[in-house]
Structure 1
Amino acid sequence: MVDTLTLAIFGAAGKTGKQAVRQAVSRGHTVRAVEKSWPDTDDLPERVDRRTANVIEDDLAPAIDGCDAVISCIGLPLTAGTALSPPPLYTESTKRYLDAMERCGVSRIVVISASFVVTRDRGPMAFRAAATVALEPIFTQMGEMERLLRASAVDWTAVRPGWLMEGDATGDATVTPEVIAPDLIRTRHGDLAAFMLDCVEAGDWIHRTPAIGRKEAEEAESAARLLREIAL
């Protein structure tokens, strides 16, 4: 039986964050859901402790203090502006997580990185070319986030999904070291959230960069679909 944990989940109103919050509550954990600002309706369980914090600007200690672990589900929207010159979301948030964790005595963090940090050799050729050109600054920043974690004293895991898509957890996603399997390209938000929670609960993949992906329907993996999603 897994011990009940108190989790600070950042990016809690996003697609992966919502999945992580709901799944954590369903597993019996206490959740502090943290967002820069909350929508009028967030569709999260009533007993979730909603907090507000800007991960680039604010002291994150009040949101993290008393928690057993931090789960970061933050991400940048795919717009022309963020692709060309992304704000320092991954790097600055990591610095602030680490500072707050040290002061609060919290040692465990799981974050979202990407398989594309280490390889572009996944998915249709047209998608590979477009992703490399359009999203290189974001992937570079994720790589710097990983370097900050490696240099820290915390028990970190940087999960590297493939190209994210809508969908609840399936229970049959494939986890591999470093990068998603060669025949995969997609990762469901629900599967990613479930794996991040698994890492925290079991203490698995500490100081490592596991990758998670799943074989999806042909249409979801098609070049046309992927290029529509990457269009800026």
Structure 2
Amino acid sequence: MKLAIFGASGATGRHLVNQALSSGHYITAMVRTLDSLQINNVGLKLIVGELSNSVIVESVIRDADAVISVLGARKGKAQKICTDGTSKIISAMQNVGVKRLIALSAYGASETHNASLFIRFVRSIISEKMRDKDDMEDLVRASNTDWTLIRPPMLTNGDASNNYRSGIDLRPGITARISRAGLASFILQTVVSGSYIHEAAIVFKE
């Protein structure tokens, strides 16, 4: 498959790029600088630019079979990165005629905001980031794309594992975790299988 990836230089994005390349997929990724993603592979094309530049965003997406956004706020940066970035991505997808979108969100966003006392506590600590996820989900759901939202709980480091649960009605407990490598594996599997279209998938380690 030809994949367009946004957020490729982030912690989850790097795992996603490496796993996709290892599986024989072709990737076009937008990066701020060429040295932000030092992966040498003939299947990877890097395009330098900003999400505010619609021409560049369209060039990343054009001819892709699917678009994957693993955007996330970096420490000290503005917290509307997911909402603003996703808005640009969806607009570009409409302009170039690409339909499939997978967007990384978080458990606790939107209708899961009141899932437990722990989730309410987490939202009170990172309220700005979670509101960004809420608004991003609203944009995705309102789009005419074949979208999937991915909602992991707390992320950890560690190896990839297929030993995880996924579904749309799960209620992860306070100890629920998934590694970033495992999350990347699930995202890639979701893209390839075409599952969870117009659904928000919750995923965590068994």
TM over 0.5: yes
Shift of 1:161: 0.4
- Is 1:112 aligned to 2:104, yes or no? yes
Higher alpha-carbon deviation: 43-52 or 10-19: 43-52
Aligned with 1:202 (options 179, 185, 193): 193
Aligned residues: 201
What is the distance in 1 between the residues matched to 2:169 and 2:34?
34
Opposite residue 75 of structure 1, the aligned amino acid is G
Higher alpha-carbon deviation: 175-184 or 152-161: 175-184
- The equivalent residue for 1:219 is none
Aligned with 2:5 (options 9, 15, 20): 9
Identity %: 29
Opposite residue 63 of structure 2, the aligned amino acid is G
Preserved CA contact (<8 Å) 2:79 2:129? no
Segments of 5+ residues of structure 2 without an aligned counterpart are none
CA deviations over 1:83-119 (Å, ceiling 9, x no partner): xxx4321111111111110111100010110002124
- Is 1:160 aligned to 2:160, yes or no? no
Distance change in 2, residues 1:178/1:110 (3 Å): farther
CA deviations over 1:143-198 (Å, ceiling 9, x no partner): 11111111111000110001111123111011121555336421211111111111
What is the distance in 1 between the residues matched to 2:49 and 2:131?
25
Opposite residue 140 of structure 1, the aligned amino acid is R
**TM-score, length of structure 2 as denominator length:** 0.88
Runs (4 or more) in structure 1 with deviation over 6 Å come to: none
Preserved CA contact (<8 Å) 2:157 2:180? yes
- The equivalent residue for 2:63 is 66
What is the distance in 1 between the residues matched to 2:101 and 2:23?
18
CA deviations over 1:197-222 (Å, ceiling 9, x no partner): 1111111000110011115xxxxxxx
Shift of 1:53: 2.4
Q: What's the RMSD between the two structures over aligned residues?
A: 2.1
Segments of 5+ residues of structure 1 without an aligned counterpart are 216-232
